[in-house]
Structure 1
Amino acid sequence: MAAVGPKGTIKPYPSFNAADDVQKLRKAMKGIGTDEDAIIDVIASRTIAQRQEVKIAYKTTVGKELEDDLKSELTGHFEKVILGLLTPITMYDVEELKRAMKGAGTDEGCLIEILASRSTEAIRNINTTYKLKYGKSLEDDICSDTSFMFQRVLVSLAAGGRDQSDKVDDSLAKQDAKDLYEAGEKKWGTDEVKFLTILCSRNKKHLLKVFDEYKKIAKKDIEASIKSEMSGHLEDALLAIVKCCRSKPAYFAERLYKSMKGLGTDDSTLIRVMVSRCEIDMLEIRSEFKKMYGKSLHSFIKGDCSGDYRKVLLKLCGGED
């Protein structure tokens, strides 16, 4: 479960009472029509831990799952975001990964986003929960749904084996930078395995040092080299690893921006980022968004979404700055 910290927009509701919330939700769904505002007021103003208490209290009082009653009352993106908020964070990631690989076509962006941005502990919890829920390992599903070097990068990230220390080995960092340069910029063709080995196994602090050393050798950022040496989903995956190392809030700000710019909205990405980060680092994401794009995240959501769906996202966004 995500820790509630000062960087999230959703804080523990001060006068929280699960039984009271159950009554509010029952009243909102009783009779003809649904009081969507009352549902938003309860679900989008509580932490994930408080929502779990509400779910238990609802089942105890009503004898039915809260999600089942909400499914019968709500539709579309509004339903999706409300149900997402009720799902424990590890299970939410698991269900999103499964959705990304279900049926025809693959949502590669979702696979990259979750596997590149989650902590090693979170990845291990995802693996355990995935196997329990679906009876197949996450790795098996990745292998049956992706291919070539992109598959190998995802499998490596999904293994949850990244070094967890804060140790920076200066001589190894210089060697890693040299190896990356020789595997890409310096040679004809690219040794993608070398990029995979270094980017998927070293700790964050060490990688930041590697990127600094790389710039000294190559006279350009590692991102620029990845863009010129790789393509497609492999390029996206390696860039995501680098970006998450440098700043996760900036990475998620970019994900949100891209989900809303241009024609049409990538609602799946927009919902997933807002739901999964609202208790973790949404304040930092908001700040990075403003810095990067000159407009507030709040104003972007307001101009891009509509109805009750928009109301929930604005609540998760938490402010206009």
Structure 2
Amino acid sequence: MLDKLDFLLALAQERHFGRAAETCGVTQPTLSAGVKQLEDALGVRLVERGSRFHGFTPEGQRALEWARRIVGDARAMRQDIDALKRGVVGHLRIAVIPTALPMVAQLTTPYRAQHPDVRFTILSSTSLDIGAALDNLEVDAGITYLDNEPLGRVSVTPIWREGYRLITAADGEFGAQETVTWRDVGRLPLCLLTPDMQNRRIVETLLREAGASPSPTLESNDTVVLLSHVRTGAWSSVLQQSFTDVMGLPPNIRSIPIVDPEVVHTVGLVVPHRDPTTPATTALVATAKALAARLASV
């Protein structure tokens, strides 16, 4: 039964029979037959199918919810029992919003010092995709905003509070100022994250509320691209203070607090809401709490 539920999860992730089969390491006929056997066992049609995958039926959507819960619990059980024999081991997949990526090493490094047999995959992701990936068991945890958009059914651990900074040339229009307003920011040629990123949605809302019209001359889903353009002195951007603190800025670029209003958001760890959690996830939450305490004391 578990293998057939895995087929269902892969189909939800890939939205394509062939790619789902590749993900599961089976042939497409094997995957299709497995889904059909699951439908026969449940006595309902789960998948809208023709020559291609067309989505899930209402019964299929409900079965998918149960599949996520059952497969997630089965994986957690295996990891929990394995940890009794070998300690905390395994593979942690963490999806992170781009602006928080520079901070991840402050979480993974102390974690691995305590649990050297755990390896990591760190993925850059939008906040919306982090929620979907957690639901579909594609990742084990996420680092994202906690207080701006709905998070879904997750357990949260706040880690740090994040303010916004104008990153601009020191010899530019506002380069000599100690603070700038959001209206000031709207006057500059900006490079910003793409609209699918929550950071971009936050920045656009604040610019509009200040009476500015957000119209970036360059956008990217990669903060490294933004920073490389700001370094030329020809563009400005809006990034979080932690990003510039960790990545560093050249002498010709300044990081200036944005006020009127001064906005702060909480960034933290999100993990699936499950009891008990896996030993690796439990250890990750403990490390996140220790990091939060350390940052709060600085």
**What TM-score do you get using the length of structure 2 for normalisation?**
0.27
**What TM-score do you get using the length of structure 1 for normalisation?**
0.26
Structure with the bigger percentage of strand: 2
Structure with the bigger percentage of helix: 1
